Amino acid sequence: MQTQTKPRVRANQTATAVLGALSVAPMTGYALREAIRDVLGHFWSESFGQIYPTLAALERDGHVRRLGAVRTRASTFEITASGTSRLKEMLAQPVQPAPPRNGLMLRLFFGRQLGAPACRALVREARADAERNLARYQAIRMQLLDEEDSAGDHPYVLLTISAGEHTARAAIAWADQALAELAPLDSHDEETHRQGANDAAPQTSNATEEA
């Protein structure tokens, strides 16, 4: 009987990201993808297949304006006043959490089937990823300080960077602990294919591994 309050519009999140990016600076669709990948990449992603239709829809609704000619060449998009207020509207909508799908955790959960050495390799990989991310966050931090323009956004952007750093550091600490706990689990409770014995040192990235 809950037919009355259907959330009809599924809150086109792509539009939010696109309008948000255009609120910082006008861009082409191509540049939008790059900006989203490079700047929001830690927590957001969009593909061309989403961006172009979304831009077309936003143009139709008057939320963005096309500066170049329609098909002749690259057209830069600019957010309109109506687009800005639409953006604020969308940002104010409640966060709808994406259903979780963490492949690493799934594998570790059934780690007994996978075997301890493979699990260690996965954890080591995750640790390396986290370290890479941490390094990138610092680079972005410094890059931010160079930019005079859009300085009003800085405090908010730094919030997201900081979240990334906290997450990355937590991942590293967890990985170290996990590796210590996985170490003694070597070969008991597993009748694994014996050929797996030599991958105790998987060498994911010559990652200075233990083994």
Partner DNA sequence: GTGTGCATGTAATGAGTTACATGATTAC
Partner DNA sequence: GTAATCATGTAACTCATTACATGCACAC
* Cα separation, 191 vs 96, whole angstroms: 43
Interface residues with a second copy (CB under 8 A) are: 13, 16-17, 20, 23, 40-45, 84, 87-88, 91-92, 95-114, 118-119, 122-123, 125, 152-153, 155-160, 162-163, 166-167, 169-171, 173-174, 177-178, 181-182, 185, 189
CA angle in degrees (0–180, nearest 5) for 65-73-64: 10
Among 24, 31, 90, 114, binds DNA (CB under 7 A): 31
Q: Which parts of 1-30 interact with DNA (CB under 7 A)? A: 3, 6, 9-14, 28-30
Which helix (H) or strand (E) segment holds residue 38: the answer is helix 29-39
Residue 42 touches which of DNA, a second copy, none (CB < 5 to 8 A by kind)?
a second copy
Tokens of 125: 């990989």
- Smaller CB distance to DNA: residue 99 or 155? 99
Give the residue ranges of DSSP H helices in 43-153. 48-60, 81-92, 103-109, 111-114, 116-146
Q: Residues 18, 31: contact at Cβ < 8 Å?
A: no
Applying CB under 7 A, the residues found at the interface with DNA are 3, 6, 9-14, 28-31, 45-50, 52-53, 55-56, 68, 70-71, 73-76, 99, 101
